[in-house]
A and B are shown apart, each in its own frame.
Chain A
Amino acid sequence: MSQPVKFYQTGTFTVGNRLLAPEQRSVQASTERANALNSGHRACQGCGEALGARYAVDAALRASGGKLIAANATGCLEVFSTPYPETSWQLPWIHSLFGNAAAVGTGIAAALKVKALKGGRSGVRVIAQGGDGGTTDIGFGCLSGMFERNDDVLYICYDNQGYMNTGVQRSSATPPAARTATTMAVGDAPGAAFGQGKKLPLIAMAHEIPYVATATVAELHDLEAKVEKAMGLHGARYLHVLVPCPLGWGAASRDTIALARLARECGLFPVFEAERGEITAVGKIRRRVPVADYLRPQKRFAHLFADGAGGTDALARIQAQADHNIRRFGLLDERTDERTGERTGEQTAA
């Protein structure tokens, strides 16, 4: 960004298009806009994954000049996009299994490399994608192998924090206290257990691969920019996108973007970029909110707010996690008051 964007209006934290550099401005979709994931698919209303995938794959398609092949793990994205003859994919796309998207991506990349050496088409790029279950759990071995070998694949995880396709069960990306079908809101410690779960972006960084980034569907330009940056690099790259799931989270379809933004603004979902294992950029929190603001609209956390349910302790523990993230990743601007999150001076847009 050439210069800090100034917020002139109080009470709003959006940035007017006219204040942005032309290349950063939002544009309305035109008939020329290519959709990698066509309309007519069967995702739920307000599906964060459909939105995230469309923007991410479109950006990757643009960055590769239309020369892109996708490998997809089993899951919502695969199921809602491909019941034949109604495939929504406008690029060469393969689904093999739940746990092998990264390895299938490796195989495609290897084949393309040999074909290019034999005088075939060169410059064809590969993405592999899946949900959090297919990435952090069952596909983790293949993903780590792909990272470790630095295979030329961009892996995109659309994280909706659970096995939504099979009916909202707990994954290793499910946050503590969240109610799922296998971590019911019953007993002394309702919802998912504290002290468990994987931070896959950090694990990806530990492989010291060229590029790791996180993003949310609340900031689609940021997502696109990160895809573009990833596509400008070769080797193993990882993008972890938070995609709220109205069904699994028990949230209103209209709140998908708002929840993604709140997850970031409360500090629970840190947005950052890392190269070769080092964090290089952090998406600063614009207006800090307590975690309760993010959790309350989601029915999966309803037990935390019910009268006499004793959710206060759990809420405090979740808030402590957010605070820890904010300290660890430096999510608050220096000019933002650490205690209140109130801006003390000019705010820099993330």
Chain B
Amino acid sequence: MIRQIEGSRAVAEAVALCRPEVICAYPISPQTHIVEGLGELVKSGTLAPCEFINVESEFAAMSVAIGASAAGARAYTATASQGLLFMAEAVYNASGLGLPIVMTVANRAIGAPINIWNDHSDSMSQRDCGWIQLFAAHNQEALDLHIQAFRLAEELSMPVMVCMDGFILTHAFEQVDMPAQAQVDAFLPPYEPRQLLDVDEPVSIGAMVGPEAFMEVRYLAHAKQLQALQRIPQLAEEFQRCFGRNTCGLLRGYHLADADTVVVALGSVLGTLRETVDELRRDGRRIGVLGITSFRPFPLAAVREALQGAQRVVVLEKSFSVGLGGVVSTDVRLALSGLSLRGCTVVAGLGGRAITRASLTRMLLEALADKLPPLSFLDLDWRIVNRQLEREAQMRRSGPTAENLLRDVGTVASKVN
């Protein structure tokens, strides 16, 4: 059914259609509307039987999900930002134990300085945790990926994180096609656990593993991710047959066939990029976009295949590895090993800084002219950066950095160029 609803509501209803049995909720912006929606669906009896547990922290949220999943329940939670970091120990534990929990990450920056707006720092910080990480480009995809996530997680017995841009998607009212319960039931069979806390067949789960087998257990987690590389496109095809929508699988290419310059990105910025590229193509520039849906497993071969015809690759990312540069770029570079391509990393949109078509156009024109440096920061305000550097050079007690910059900026709360 076509509906005009908020992204969070769309995800809440899609998750409910997947019949989760235990949902753990701890509020953090911008994830709140998702768990609020689910709480209402459970309390009203629309989603039943299901236990909705208001836990006392994200660490508890993931821990309750671990217990529930090990006891055979389909378990779901959602978080963002600081919450994902606070549960990090349990995030690793869930994948280490091979428990097929599904979690939405409403992508948000990590402090300090505290910031509630969107970037990808949170889920990128957990890129090595063993979870499958899928990035939604728009709300329909967010909805669809959740349904596939439960199927994928349970088939592989590995947890899946569905990442969607905080506010930009979670709080955006868009048209979505909400599937019927029967469609979801046909696509997603009841959960059959590989391992179960069962009084009829007692097992111990979570034993200490020493050097004799630890590497092998870790390798098997990698093997699951390699299996996911096969299963994600297959499930996307099956999903298309069942629901009539293309959800693209691992990657989504746009005008790649003839492109000599390709911009690689994840998430909602892909929409802005497509429009920007459309405009540039009207001027005869051969430029394309590669959207990565599956960040973990990272589809090295598919990325290489998609990019090998290009001369320039610009990785536009909403994450930042301080002291190095890009996070996604490192992986893209690995995919391109041995190919002589001009590669640039553009860090953009940190802490919700708007990524506008004007800025993207300016940046891409520089890239096309081979004037873009290997690492750049879209719309960075060098004026306040340099002022702070000067301040620090001049006096020892220069004061708290963020507060100095805010004073320099003045009363503008958001920055749109």
Task: Report A's interface with B, CB cutoff 8 A.
Answer: 66-69, 71-72, 78-79, 82-84, 87, 89-97, 99-100, 103-115, 117-118, 121, 124, 141-142, 144-145, 148-149, 151
Contact = CB atoms under 8 A, between A and B. Distances in A.
A111 B66 contact: no
B16 to A, nearest CB: 14
Given A84-B209, A107-B71, A141-B56, A96 B199 contact: no
Interface in B232-269: none
B289 to A, nearest CB: 41
Contacts of B56: 141-142, 144-145, 148
A165 to B, nearest CB: 11
A142 B66 CA distance: 13
B204 A97 contact: no
A124 B199 contact: yes
A196 B122 CA distance: 37
Contact of B54 (A67, A90, A113, A149): A149
Contacts of B64: 103-104, 106-107, 110
Nearest to B204: A87
B72 interface: yes
Nearest to A120: B72
B60 A93 contact: no
Contact of B197 (A100, A108, A110, A117): A108
B163 interface: no
Contacts of B21: 110-111, 114-115
Contact of A114 (B50, B66, B197): B50
Contacts of A142: 56-57, 59-60, 63
A144 B55 CA distance: 10
Given A69-B71, A93-B202, A93-B204, A117 B49 contact: yes
A145 B55 contact: yes
Given A103-B60, A141-B60, A145-B60, A93 B73 contact: no
Nearest to A106: B64
Contact of A68 (B59, B90, B199, B206): B199
Interface residues of B, number: 42
A113 B51 contact: yes
Interface of B: 21-22, 24, 49-51, 53-57, 59-60, 63-73, 75, 89-90, 93, 97, 196-199, 202-210
Q: Nearest 3 CB-CB pairs, A to B?
A: A107-B67, A145-B56, A103-B63
Given A94-B197, A97-B93, A112 B206 contact: no
Contacts of B206: 72, 78, 82, 94-96
A111 B63 contact: no
A48 B112 CA distance: 45
A89 B203 CA distance: 8
A72 B70 CA distance: 13
Contacts of A141: 56-57, 59-60
A78 B208 CA distance: 8
A107 B65 contact: yes
A91 B54 CA distance: 29
A115 B24 CA distance: 17
B204 A104 contact: no
B199 A107 contact: no
A110 B60 contact: no
A71 B67 contact: yes
Given A92-B202, A149-B53, 4 more contacts: A92-B199, A107-B64, A108-B68, A142-B60
A100 B63 contact: yes
20 contacts: A67-B199, A79-B208, A82-B207, A91-B202, A92-B198, A92-B203, A92-B204, A94-B197, A94-B204, A100-B60, A106-B60, A107-B69, A108-B197, A111-B69, A114-B73, A121-B199, A142-B57, A142-B60, A145-B56, A145-B57
B89 A97 contact: yes
B59 A69 contact: no
Given A69-B197, A90-B202, A94-B70, A82 B208 contact: yes
B205 A94 contact: yes
A110 B59 contact: no
B403 to A, nearest CB: 31
Nearest to B70: A94
Contact of A108 (B71, B89, B93): B71
A106 B71 contact: no
Nearest to A107: B67
Nearest to A36: B202
A111 B205 CA distance: 16
Contacts of B50: 114
B62 to A, nearest CB: 8
Given A92-B199, A94-B205, A104 B66 contact: yes
Contacts of B22: 107, 110-111, 114
Contacts of B70: 94, 104, 107-108
A109 to B, nearest CB: 8
Contacts of A107: 22, 24, 53, 63-71, 73, 75
B205 A95 contact: yes
B214 to A, nearest CB: 12
A79 to B, nearest CB: 6
Q: Which of A67, A111, A142 has the most B CB atoms < 10 Å from its CB?
A: A111
B71 A112 contact: yes
Contacts of A87: 204, 207
B209 A96 contact: no
Contacts of A71: 67
Contacts of B202: 89-93
Contact of B53 (A89, A93, A110): A110
B309 to A, nearest CB: 47
Contact of A69 (B90, B199, B208, B210): B199
B98 to A, nearest CB: 12
A20 B346 CA distance: 81
A84 B210 CA distance: 9
A114 B49 contact: yes
Contacts of A93: 197, 202-205
